[in-house]
Amino acid sequence: MKVAKFGGSSLANAEQIKKTCDIILSDPRRRLIVVSAPGKFYDGDIKVTDMLIACVNAFLDGGDYEKVLRDIIRRFSVMADELKVEGVLEDIEKDIRGRLDPAMNPSKLMDSMKAAGEDNNARFVAAYLKSLGHDASYLSPREYGMTLSDQFGNAVVLDETYDNLSVLANIKGIGIFPGFFGFSKQGDIVTFPRGGSDITGAILAAAVKAEVYENFTDVDYVYSVSPKIVKNPKPVRYLSYREMRELSYSGFNVYQEEALAPVYRANVPINIRNVNNPSCEGSLILHDYEHTVHPVTGIASDDHFCCINIRKLLMNREIGYVRRILSVLEEEGVSFEHLPSGIDDITLIIKESALKEGQFDRIVEKIQNAVQTDELSVEKNLSLIVIVGEKLLNNIGIAARTTKAFADNKINIKMLSQGASEISMIFAVDTKDCGRAVAALYHEFFD
């Protein structure tokens, strides 16, 4: 059995849904299908999930939510007209309206509405396949036991879910499972982080021990660098889970970063494929794949980081010093991304999106109260660049080649760090230099 997940751009309109269903029907092993909500097909298009979020915000703030609601219903009604799917539209409207309950706690209401995109799209795709005469059915996450933690908008799967869902290995016909959400033990709808349908697909693939988890999106391959920075970059045909994890975390948007763990543990390969070009074999993510050509598999980058540099003479002799700094972050509920250190200095690198307004300054002040420093400075507008490759481990001279590429292009490296796994090297640079730096590294390792 193959588990196939189709993302928002694969289901954005009637034409895309047709393509998706042709792909499903072209291989009888594709029997468990995970769908996203209708997404974006062209620039300026809006994802149904974003419309649902806007609708809840308007509903809670006393705005014109009815208008947004009508736009959402229209997305489904245009698809129903074009695909001649009858008898679903009233139910979809009733379902979405029913979720707007003023008595509900706002976080619960938000998650319930966010889930409406996937839930109704799964019903819609199942109805369309049925209308074509195929044996297809909607699979209910509540009924099959997609049980998640009760962290609204940020849920994680609970272990028992894998057992619950394993019965789907024996499913008759084609099952359409909505992505992105599940239910807490208390019975509330809870969603994964954004892009979370990838996680649903990975959980299902692991639960039924699928031969492969196909993840259909709108690119032919995972590329060695973002095509937005380098034109026609080299495709990556094979990569390891660890490499994909590092690349997704650091800005590759092809695959949700939290969606690797379930398939990694179950050893199910992931095949990234293009819904608009199904004859392309795509990229395959495997347990242990050793690259033979390039020492570097991919180069990723991400913006919007800030850092706090702390210097204190004899820091290495002061027991508990770093703990006191980190307790400030804990108290503030903020996690750091990297923590490079020297004998007398340490840097906290934090994602700007993790901070609320005014929180950065408060953290700096609290650190100054918690520990004595000889010097404390902050930097903003930083980007992190990561080079990733299993072969980094045994390859001499990669750091030298990298720093030379930076030097030749007059780019100042603000921080350099290599994790214990040694499959990645991380560099912090000023955001204004980031594009140039990534291009320079690409030319160094791939041209």
Q: What residues make contact with ligand ASP under the rule CB under 6 A?
A: 7-8, 36-37, 47, 49, 117, 179-180, 194-198
Q: For tokens 């100042």, name the residue.
A: 412
Closest distance of CB 297 from ligand ASP, Å: 25
> Distance between CA atoms of 415 and 74, rounded to whole angstroms?
50
Yes or no: say if 309 and 404 are a contact pair by the CB < 8 Å rule. no
Q: How far is the CB of 153 from ligand ASP (least distance, A)?
A: 10
Nearer to ligand ASP, 7 or 141 (CB): 7
Tokens 């849904």 belong to residue = 17
Tell me which residue of 183, 433, 428, 442 sits closest to 297, measured CA to CA: 442
In the complex with ligand ASP, the residue whose CB is nearer, 32 or 350, is: 32
Cβ nearer to ligand ASP, comparing 121 with 383? 121
Distance in Å, CB of 47 to ligand ASP, minimum = 5
Say if CB 224 and CB 298 are below 8 A apart: yes
CB of 55 to ligand ASP, least distance (A): 14
Nearer to ligand ASP, 196 or 282 (CB): 196
Closest chain position to ligand ASP (CB): 197
The pairing of beta strand 189-191 with beta strand 181-183: antiparallel
Contact 176, 33 (CB under 8 A): yes
CB 20 within 8 A of CB 26: no
Cβ of residue 293: shortest distance to ligand ASP, in angstroms? 32
Cβ closest to ligand ASP, residue 192 vs residue 221: 192
Q: Which residues contact 296 (CB under 8 A, 6 or more apart)?
A: 224, 387, 388, 389, 391, 392, 398, 441, 445, 446
Q: Which is nearer to ligand ASP, 20 or 240 (CB)?
A: 20
> Structure tokens of 222?
């995972």
Contacts (Cβ under 8 Å, ≥6 apart) of 253: 195
In angstroms, what is the minimal distance from the CB of 35 to ligand ASP? Answer: 9
Minimum CB separation of residue 189 from ligand ASP in Å reads 14
To the nearest whole angstrom, how small is the minimum distance from the Cβ of residue 250 to ligand ASP?
19
Give residue 367's Cα distance to chain centre: 32
Q: Which is nearer to ligand ASP, 153 or 435 (CB)?
A: 153
Name the residue among 31, 131, 44, 139 with its Cα closest to residue 79.
Answer: 131
Comparison of 47 and 245: residue with beta carbon closer to ligand ASP: 47
Question: What does the radius of gyration of the chain's CA atoms come to, in whole angstroms?
Answer: 24
Residues 241 and 260 sit within 8 Å (Cβ to Cβ): yes
For residue 71, the minimal CB distance to ligand ASP (Å) is 16
Burial, 5: exposed, middle or buried (Cβ in 10 Å; 0-12, 13-18, 19+)?
buried
The residue (of 195 and 295) whose beta carbon lies closer to ligand ASP is 195
Nearest residue (CB) to ligand ASP, 30 versus 194: 194
The answer to whether the beta carbons of residues 32 and 208 sit under 8 Å apart is yes
Q: How many other β-carbons are positioned within 10 Å of the β-carbon of residue 163?
A: 10
Phi then psi for residue 239, to 5 deg, are -150, 160
CB of residue 128 to ligand ASP, shortest distance in Å:
19
């129903």: which residue's tokens?
Answer: 80
The full length of the chain comes to 447
The DSSP element (H or E) to which 154 belongs, if any, is none
| Shortest separation between residue 48's beta carbon and ligand ASP, angstroms | 7
Nearer to ligand ASP, 195 or 269 (CB): 195
Number of helices followed by number of strands (H, E) in the chain? 14, 17
DSSP 8-class letter at 147: B
